[in-house]
Amino acid sequence: MKSGRYLYAGAVVVALVVGLGLWNPMHVKADRDRTPRFRVDPLWPKPLPAPVGYNPLTYPTPTPGDDIAHRWVQGEVAGTCIDQWDNVWTANRAWEVGVTVNNVLQGNESGAIGGNDSNTSAKPSPPYVQFNSEGKVIGGFGNPALQTSGPEYGYPTYLPYGTHGCYVDYQGNIWVGGNGDGVVQKYNPAVAKTAGAAATYITQIGTHGQCDGPLATGSSNTYSSCNENTTTNSSHTLLGMPPDIAVDPQADPVTGTTGSVYIADGYGNHRVVVFTTTDGVTYTYNRQFGTDCGAGNTVCSPTQFGHSGGGHPHCVVLGNDGNVYACDRPNSRILVFTKTGTSVRVIPIDSSAFPGATPANLAAILLGGNRACDMDFYPNIDYLASTSPTHQKYIVDVDLVNNNAYLLDKASGEVLNALGRCGQAPCPGHNPGEFAYSHTTASDSKGNVYVAETITGRRIQKFVRVDDDDHDRDHDHH
């Protein structure tokens, strides 16, 4: 280990984190003032498992008599999150297979794995897969079964439909959501990994298969209430297609209790909604902030999210400055609120954010919207949320349409550089350091950044911070 590469937090912060029971001093790296630079690790992750007899419906129990090694294949990697040991979780679509109506596969968002991959022995990975920091798979869980009868035929029996974001909280629980459903679910990952496909949640906020909106006219399918064109924004028990979650270790400013859940309730609704708890099992609506800007409106206030365009808000992140950051994806900006919903500022991802881009590259960037799809602070310890001891000087912003991830100065909103190999320019492609539908991001405590790609990307990439001498910071310590 090289000296001078680590900077530990002060005694007050150390005492706070020790009190949470998760402190590991090896996890806090230097908060240097030099602008971070990154390079992709093309060999991360390592090859996925190929267990003999693997069956996603019975995992980890193999199918009797099946002597084939079935390689796991990830579909759309819709979400990624980091736990207290710097393990990386991915939330994967394309596992919803097995129910067909009129020769059309139902509920399968990315196409059948066998049809999209050359090896027909391949099968979908578990919905949630855990990698260690070296890229080796160390677990997975999730029930991939679909309903086989009734109005909701072909929809998931248990997990959120439209697998989306995930978040690991300060107590080690993993929270998952879906942008085609009305729930977020909380799991104990150690228990869930042992159970595999039979994993059950600790608790659920919302009602599975029912959103904060009316059923479609003439429909008895409860999922028809989950519609981006419906903005009820009012229920205290139902959600509207929530894509992201954050959990606060600090005392709630209203109730004084810890563990409040902030939900980006944002494909159907247009709000950040806060649920509080006293026992970690029962969660009660407390407050919400954010409204719909309205159809056809091009100028939205600092408290309004874009009416349509996929996810509004699309992310929610708690800063150690006491504020809540939410992605207004249709308007290509990040809205900043206090924890009680007062507007603090707006961080636009527009022409003002790219003073270092060439005119041609700037024109290319501005040609496409959705430049604020997801964000994370850098440096950061994600699971500590509002109590992260890092300076959080930067924001990693994911641009879905231009296929890149930018490093912003949090104070000024200026884009300093990019993770993509193209620099401050659109960077589409399938080679290392390029993106196809860059969707979500997360930072680990070693200074690495992960970017998950959905739709046609179907992968997660690891970006390693490098020093000015171009040595890999993480590998310097192995």
Q: Does 157 score more than 70 pLDDT? A: yes
pTM over 0.85: yes
pLDDT at 72: 93
Question: Could you read off the pLDDT of 218-271 as tens digits, one per residue?
Answer: 999 999 999 888 889 999 999 999 999 999 999 999 999 999 999 999 999 999
pLDDT bracket for residue 478 (50, 70, 90) = very low
Buried-exposed string 74-87: b where 16+ CB fall within 10 A, e elsewhere: bbbbbbbbbbbbbb
pLDDT bracket for residue 110 (50, 70, 90) = low
Dihedral angle sign, alpha carbons of residues 246, 80, 73, 266: positive
pLDDT bracket for residue 468 (50, 70, 90) = low
Q: Does 13 score more than 60 pLDDT? A: no
pLDDT at 31: 53
Q: Does 102 score more than 90 pLDDT? A: no
CB contact set of 426 (below 8 Å; sequence gap of 6+): 361, 364, 365, 368, 402, 403, 404
pLDDT at 108: 55
Q: How far is CA 206 from the centre of its chain?
A: 19
20-34, 289-303, 364-378: range with lowest mean pLDDT: 20-34
Q: Does 434 score more than 90 pLDDT? A: yes
Q: Hunting for tokens 């680990």 — which residue is that? A: 444
pLDDT at 231: 83
Longest dimension (CA), the chain: 68
Question: Could you read off the pLDDT of 339-375 as tens digits, one per residue?
Answer: 999 999 999 999 999 999 999 999 999 998 899 999 9
3-state secondary structure at position 393: coil
**What is the C-alpha separation between 234 and 227, in angstroms, rounded?**
15
pLDDT at 329: 95
Phi, psi (deg, nearest 5) at residue 200: -120, 150
Query: What are the structural domain ranges in the chain?
Result: 11-477
26-40, 123-137, 354-368: range with lowest mean pLDDT: 26-40
Question: Could you read off the pLDDT of 312-330 as tens digits, one per residue?
Answer: 899 999 999 999 999 999 9
pLDDT at 264: 98
9-13, 194-198, 407-411: range with lowest mean pLDDT: 9-13
Q: Using only the alpha carbons of the chain, give its radius of gyration.
A: 21
Question: Could you read off the pLDDT of 440-451 as tens digits, one per residue?
Answer: 999 999 999 999
Nearest-5° angle of CA 271, CA 436, CA 310? Answer: 20
Closest C-alpha among 167, 144, 47, 54 to residue 94: 144
Pick 369 or 338 by higher pLDDT. 338
Q: Hunting for tokens 């407050």 — which residue is that? A: 287
Q: What is the DSSP letter of 473?
A: T
CB contact set of 51 (below 8 Å; sequence gap of 6+): 60, 62, 69, 70
Phi, psi (deg, nearest 5) at residue 409: -75, 120
Tokens representing 425 are 């320019």
Quickly name the fold that domain 11-477 has: Neuraminidase (2.120.10)
Average pLDDT, the chain: 88
Mean pLDDT of 374-379: 98
75-89, 153-167, 199-213, 280-294: range with lowest mean pLDDT: 153-167
Q: At 366, which amino acid appears?
A: L
Q: Hunting for tokens 């028809």 — which residue is that? A: 224
